[in-house]
Structure 1
């Protein structure tokens, strides 16, 4: 009888590989980021960790054995969820892996904009000694967190160390620790005028696409900063650019964009009130370890025991 097969499309350290193999000792485990190695194993892989767009050709054939996909990202908007739903496949995401690094990036952007660090970096390159009209501070201001999942909760927790008032938006409207008041998405425009910082941590779904545009920016204070580490398509980018140009908002810290890499012709590169980072807010030295030990192996143990997976199972109807 042929061994069941697990394919992992990322390079892992030997301790992580051994931890996986010890969980499925009777399985064949393929670990490589080289497509020439993992492609030939896709058609008979029962479990795959790490989605690649090239997999479309191999994973949805009549003879495909794929039952479960573990993604290497929190977002699943680039995965063919409808096809997987039709085939009753399980999908689990890497949601939660990013809470520490992304919350750190959020505050790096907020503090950078508030304390004019981006201006000082530019001045340093020109050997220019200039005050840059520094006057703002972050303490005791109001932050609005749009999407209070793992990242949003960690961001709220840090905000409290600065004595900030924390407002949140989540579908359920359910209260959570560190958030002073929770709103539902249809109450977003009521929340925005109160915020000194608006932080988007949402996944991209049919409901969130284009969620932030001219109307939302018009409801924000002209002294407020906008931070997006969610997905680029949540924001109507040309309307954000217009809001920045017209001083409707004070500035923006952006890690995600409608088209990536951000085109060299984009005005965002040269705007003095914008900090651009290249979709790196989730990068961390602990990424692989957290995916494997905190998500994949616990789910894999359940899978081996014919039990339901309990961590980060994607809800096809919600899209995340």
Structure 2
């Protein structure tokens, strides 16, 4: 099939898709599918071509989260979209594990202290992943499955929470999201990897934070809006939980001078778990798989369900 990439070509990705038997064209009107690596608008240098040529059978977005595209109206009825759900499981899982460990071991607090004088205080706040530790993965999809593999050497007890309650390989227990209320008070630490939907938006608020253990570390590598930021700041300042470590925040970008930058028990990364650089390395096989399913007249493996939000 003929395809194009808009608004900016990624030569390595194009070369891989061409090697699979497809033909790259620069004119969207000639293309059967479009790889869209732009923002949330139509038209303009960074937006989707407007009007969208009738020849386009589906649009491939090279990242996982599409809630912003749905909210902005860019994903519309009548046009099929596919995302890159699951493609970045391993790199995001690596970030999640590094955030959890760095917050447990007080890396940011030590860097802010700038002195060995605080060694005793830092050690008193230090935590570990021992065999009697329970880690809950909220939204146990591709990232969660990869994280379970990385957690295996630590011997922790893993609780997986997903939408369906379907068993997650490697997890010790699995619960559906709507029957997992007890998990907030039971697990020692949490990793959020859930997509942003109407059901998950603001799911971690003051009430949920109050249920957590005081030595809990909360990690968010899903979507920033899963957490009510003001409630989290209060919980960290008051010692409701021990710490938070996040690659995604709300608002994003996090403004300079925001309390989360200054709190020693909050570790923030600027959304670098799945960037365009890693997308260029990993996304082509998923595009090829989706294109093959489309040609066969089937639902694509990562086809977006606009009503579900992912």
C-alpha displacement of 1:112: 0.7
TM-score (norm 2): 0.87
- Spell out, residue by residue over 1:72-112, the C-alpha distance to the aligned partner (whole angstroms, 9 max, x if none): 2110112147664522x221111112111111111111111
Distance between the aligned counterparts of 2:41 and 2:234, measured in 1? 39
Q: Is 1:253 the equivalent of 2:251? A: no
Give the direction of change, closer, same or farther, for the CA distance of 1:10–1:180 in structure 2 (3 Å limit): farther
Equivalent residue, structure 1, for 2:301 = 311
Equivalent residue, structure 2, for 1:34 = none
Distance between the aligned counterparts of 1:243 and 1:111, measured in 2? 20
Distance between the aligned counterparts of 2:58 and 2:308, measured in 1? 18
TM-score (norm 1): 0.85
C-alpha displacement of 1:297: 1.2
Q: Is 1:287 the equivalent of 2:279? A: yes
CA RMSD, 1 decimal: 2.5
Q: Which of 155, 162, 175 in structure 1 is aligned with 2:154?
A: 162
Q: Which of 249, 265, 268 in structure 1 is aligned with 2:260?
A: 268
Distance between the aligned counterparts of 1:45 and 1:90, measured in 2? 14
Give the direction of change, closer, same or farther, for the CA distance of 1:45–1:53 in structure 2 (3 Å limit): farther
Distance between the aligned counterparts of 1:223 and 1:255, measured in 2? 20
Q: Which of 13, 16, 19 in structure 2 is aligned with 1:19?
A: 16
Q: Is 1:29 the equivalent of 2:25? A: yes
Equivalent residue, structure 2, for 1:105 = 95
Q: Which of 272, 286, 301 in structure 1 is aligned with 2:292?
A: 301
Equivalent residue, structure 2, for 1:53 = 39
Q: Is the Cα–Cα contact under 8 Å of residues 146 and 170 in structure 1 kept in the other structure?
A: yes
Structure number with higher relative contact order (C-alpha < 8 Å, ≥ 6 residues apart): 2
Q: Please list every run of 5 or more consecutive structure 1 residues that lacks an aligned counterpart in the other structure.
A: 31-40
Q: Is the Cα–Cα contact under 8 Å of residues 34 and 59 in structure 2 kept in the other structure?
A: yes
SS of equivalent residue, structure 2 residue 232 = helix
Q: Is the Cα–Cα contact under 8 Å of residues 160 and 174 in structure 2 kept in the other structure?
A: yes
How do residues 189-204 of structure 1 correspond to structure 2 at under 5 angstroms? 189-204=181-196
